[in-house]
Structure 1
Amino acid sequence: MTRPPNLLFIMADQLRADYLGCNGHPSIKTPHIDALARRGVNFTRAYCQAPVCGPSRMSFYTGRYAASHGASYNGVPLRVDERTLGDYLRPLGYRVGLVGKTHMKRDDDGMARLGLDPDSSRGVLVSQCGFEPYERDDGLHPDQLANPDLPYNRYLREQGYEGANPWHSVANSAEGNDGEPLSGWYMRHSHLPARVQEAHSETAYTTNRAMDFIEEAGDSPWCLHLSYIKPHWPYMAPAPYHAMYGPEDILPAVRSDAERERPHPVVEAFMGHGESVEFSRDEVRERVVPAYMGLITQLDHHIGRLADFIEAKGLRDDTVIVITSDHGDYLGDHWLGEKELFHEPSARIPMIVVDPRRGADASRGSCDDRLVEAIDLVPTFTDLAGGDSRTLDHILEGRSLTPLIRGESVADWRRYAFSEADYAWRPARMELGLAPDEARAFMVTDGRWKYVHYANYPPQLFDLARDPGEIVDLAHCDDCRTVRGELEAALNEWFRARRLRTTISNAEVERRTGTAHKRGILFGAW
């Protein structure tokens, strides 16, 4: 039998889809990612299921929408009964490891109810989103929350850097004229180089640890989730990447005066957040966006280094590589900072799949503009590993990408992609006077039109073909009434189609249907 491929699942935190050379950015340098796109399929219309780290990742790892798995925001535990990628791959003989970030909050109450010890072998997997935590690092370590024994902190001290939390004081801070740390948490310092040498930076270290995992994995097939923390803030790049780009290299913000003068109420509330106020200033963008771009080019360099390592190990032809992100970054577009809402800079993600095997030759080097969702990766990995995702259709809500990767004709590919937001924890909710369970929003797109439903507020509608910048809201346009009705109906149907019966397969339901009398249960008999 043919050995199933290794699976290298690379995620970059907060990487916009349009900030790659292969996706059309005119000035950013991403030669290694671009080369991988030429070796595989570049899915150019991929969407995350929730434009925030935690819920997006839980959808990536479960293959289910946030409305189904319930971990709707950062810090909301993933229920102990939810299956994740490791639960599908380990029975197929895979070692499933993690290097980097998951942003998963474990279900302590559920584990206690089941008497599951978090330090037991099973408890560790449940606590770590189904991954073997080869090295987990969620990457947000301000001094008041820092763990001095964080492996990366220990590593930095071994390299001669001092301090209780060198993640902050060295890797994510610059240096003032008198040698004092200038914290990367303050965006005014983003144009300065981080105090850490590039070879000791977080991105370099994470890549090294991925190589360590691959070196140790041996001959058994493995899946490695390599989850980079950058280019997520703090926007602090080491030399020479801090100075690789300048204001002349950044694209103008996609926004209009009309958006600020006549905003949608929910969007207006998000415009009032501190990060949005700051990113609305050109001075801020001219410092932060070049640093963001530098972090992406640094990431690209280390992905190239990892690809060379895989080739040197003789694994190039046996390793499927996926490059994606959990969500984007507004960077001042639409007068917004951060993510969370559904404009393209926030909700659309890169999705490049490289299958080096002969069966994928038909799609090699192509761009595929069919709608793809983050939840598609679990069924895809399951199929690539030799399983059959169709037997899991009572649980998984994504669709396997394997037919698209193989260049097969798929007549019934999805018509719509969906995303959702739970902004109960954000100041916008209080500004709007909403109760926690009212701060919900949902997006549906058919690729041409994008419709956003807000609880308690009017919807939004954008024509992505004629208005790719999503400047003009057409929700109240009489000529768009039919389109609006179609997308409302699609969203309602999506709500009704959630996979809620997860403990028994559809095949078993089919087998049992109408067999009560055969099994001696004679209800209704005369």
Structure 2
Amino acid sequence: MVNRTNILLIMTDQQRGDCLGIEGHPVLLTPNMDSIAGRGVRFDKCYSTCPVCIPARRSLLSGQYPDTHGIVGYYQQAEWETSLSLPNALKEVGYHTYLVGRDMHQYPQNKRYGYDHIVGYSAYNEWLNSQLSYNTYEPFGSYYASGVMHNDRSARPWPYEESLHYTNWTVNEAHRFLQNRDPACPYFLTVSFLAPHPPLVPPAFYMERYIRTGVPDPVIGQWAKSPLTNGKGSPIDAANVCLSGEELLSCRAAYYGLINHIDDQLSRLLRIVEAMDMDNTVILFTSDHGEMLGDHYLYRKSVPYEPSVRVPLLISAPQRYGIKSGLVISKPVSLEDIMPTILDIVGVEIPDTVEGSSLLPLMREEEISWRSFIHIEHGEGTVDFQPHHTLTDGTEKYIWFVQNGEEQFFDLRTDPQECQNLIDSKNHEDTIARWRKKLITKLEDRPEHFSDGTKLICNRPYPTYIKRT
């Protein structure tokens, strides 16, 4: 039976799984994000199965893995049928479905994918220009007027008043919805932030805070390769970087500052939810993928390493759901599990098209069988990285690079920062062979013919869109 529980989905863009105070981050402050985990559950092994925005968000909306919905990399032109999307499934049982802030980056851009209404970037940009006393409109929109762009490692403070920042506006629009919505029906509100995705332009207070505290140095594995000339002369949006000195400090300070800024604005959002109906509201917090941030000489996402693929997943729910506060679950979960979890919580039948699994039994600490690993992938892209297939259970990770057949293996229990590639270790031969066999089986029926059932086949074409017939 469908119940009337409100659902608040809070989503950042490009936030690493370790960028939470409750994860033990050495400088970053996230008390409001942490409070969601403190009231509910933190999944510390949640993975983005294709760590770039379009496929990750489609997986969240559909509950399907990338090779099923077809987008296995950064591909913008594939429209899809949304009759079984998460917001549509909720709308059909009487929910008011609403999204504010960063859209879900699907094609075409103005398609609502089951949301009754989306108030996104174009509305923000129009509002921002109306607030400025002079015309600063740029071809990319005023949010980019500083010159720092959407994949840059360069950083600087937000050039306008803090109240004009996209993050503040997103929370303002969430307030507007909560205050004006129809109270006769439950809501599914998605509050979607563009930050900490570049441009790295936090309000000055937040950038200065992490300039003052300092930032951790990048983690550099023994296998990692520095760019030529230490990156001097490389494009500002290069994927292979060597961050050091002022560039390192400002880049990381701005990234942390954007997250801290979101967290402070979440206080405004959570307070109004608490005042209105916290006892009947489920809150989920997650991100679409992470950010390498200079670790292993890498920047941006797409690659198979923890900073890129592991994301936060925090869920709090009313007491009637029987979930213990402060629970930490380390089973391998993914963004595909969010749709079935929400539908399970509100009592809606989960469509057969959904491949993820409801997390509600895990949150109730019920004894159930669970998947043994997560499959992560990314096809050929426009940035300088190798397409890959990756398997992990959160304690071990096996990586196979498609173009040249190179392999990596990491023991995340003893080496959580992936500094030692154990692929040639005699002590791990049997374990690696088991993981390799799992990937051979996993890829056997793929149209790219990565596997013949007995071995992996490298140097196969790996486009970012699988056309299903």
Shorter-chain TM-score above 0.5 = yes
Q: Per-residue CA shift, 1:338-393, capped at 9, x if unaligned?
A: 011011100000000011232234x211111111111000101111121132xx3x
**What's the secondary structure of 2:361's corresponding residue?**
helix
Aligned to 2:88: 87
Aligned to 2:392: 445
Aligned to 2:328: 367
- Residue 413 of structure 2 is aligned to residue 465 of structure 1: yes
Q: Per-residue CA shift, 1:267-317, capped at 9, x if unaligned?
A: x9xx9995344453343211110111111111001111100011222x111
8 Å contact kept, 1:197–1:239: no
Q: Per-residue CA shift, 1:84-136, capped at 9, x if unaligned?
A: 212321222212221122343326xxxxxxxxxx9xxxxx7xx2333233312
AA at the equivalent of 1:68: T
Aligned to 2:101: 100
Q: Per-residue CA shift, 1:54-84, capped at 9, x if unaligned?
A: 1111111111111110123334334433532
8 Å contact kept, 1:340–1:346: yes
CA offset at residue 44 of structure 1?
0.6
Distance 1:47 1:475 in 2: 22
Relative distance call for 1:151 and 1:166 in structure 2 (3 A) is: farther
AA at the equivalent of 2:438: A
Distance 1:470 1:262 in 2: 19
Higher relative helix content: 1
Aligned to 1:16: 16
CA offset at residue 169 of structure 1?
7.4
Aligned to 1:234: 199
Aligned to 1:130: 114
AA at the equivalent of 2:302: E
Distance 1:44 1:7 in 2: 22
Instruction: Output the TM-score relative to the length of structure 1.
Output: 0.77
The one of 139, 150, 155 equivalent to 2:127 is 155
**What's the secondary structure of 1:59's corresponding residue?**
helix
Distance 1:30 1:244 in 2: 13
Aligned to 2:367: 409
8 Å contact kept, 2:152–2:237: no
Distance 1:277 1:454 in 2: 17
Alignment of 1:50-129 (within 5 A): 50-81=50-81, 83-106=84-107, 127-129=111-113
**What's the secondary structure of 2:18's corresponding residue?**
coil
Q: Report which of the two structures shows the higher radius of gyration computed on alpha carbons.
A: 1
8 Å contact kept, 2:227–2:242: no
The one of 325, 331, 334 equivalent to 2:287 is 325
Distance 2:217 2:224 in 1: 16
Distance 2:97 2:337 in 1: 18
The one of 407, 414, 434 equivalent to 1:486 is 434
Distance 1:486 1:102 in 2: 40
8 Å contact kept, 2:79–2:106: no
Distance 2:17 2:88 in 1: 29
8 Å contact kept, 2:125–2:142: no
Aligned to 1:345: 307
Give aligned-pair identity as a percent. Answer: 30
Aligned to 1:380: 341
8 Å contact kept, 2:409–2:432: yes
Q: Per-residue CA shift, 1:5-59, capped at 9, x if unaligned?
A: 1111111001111111011102111111111211110111100111111111111
Relative distance call for 1:43 and 1:461 in structure 2 (3 A) is: same
Distance 1:357 1:245 in 2: 37
Relative distance call for 1:300 and 1:157 in structure 2 (3 A) is: same
Distance 2:86 2:141 in 1: 35
Instruction: Output the TM-score relative to the length of structure 2.
Output: 0.86
Alignment of 1:515-526 (within 5 A): none
Aligned to 1:291: 254
AA at the equivalent of 1:381: I
Aligned to 2:164: 200
CA offset at residue 414 of structure 1?
1.5
AA at the equivalent of 2:312: P
Relative distance call for 1:47 and 1:407 in structure 2 (3 A) is: same
AA at the equivalent of 1:401: L
The one of 380, 391, 396 equivalent to 2:354 is 396
**What's the secondary structure of 2:353's corresponding residue?**
coil
Relative distance call for 1:246 and 1:239 in structure 2 (3 A) is: closer
Total equivalences in the alignment:
438
Distance 1:298 1:183 in 2: 21
Distance 1:99 1:259 in 2: 39
Alignment of 1:207-226 (within 5 A): 207-219=171-183, 220-226=185-191
Q: Per-residue CA shift, 1:151-209, capped at 9, x if unaligned?
A: 21221233234325279676445xxxxxxxx422396862x421221112110000111
Distance 1:497 1:85 in 2: 28
8 Å contact kept, 1:152–1:167: no
The one of 246, 268, 271 equivalent to 1:308 is 271
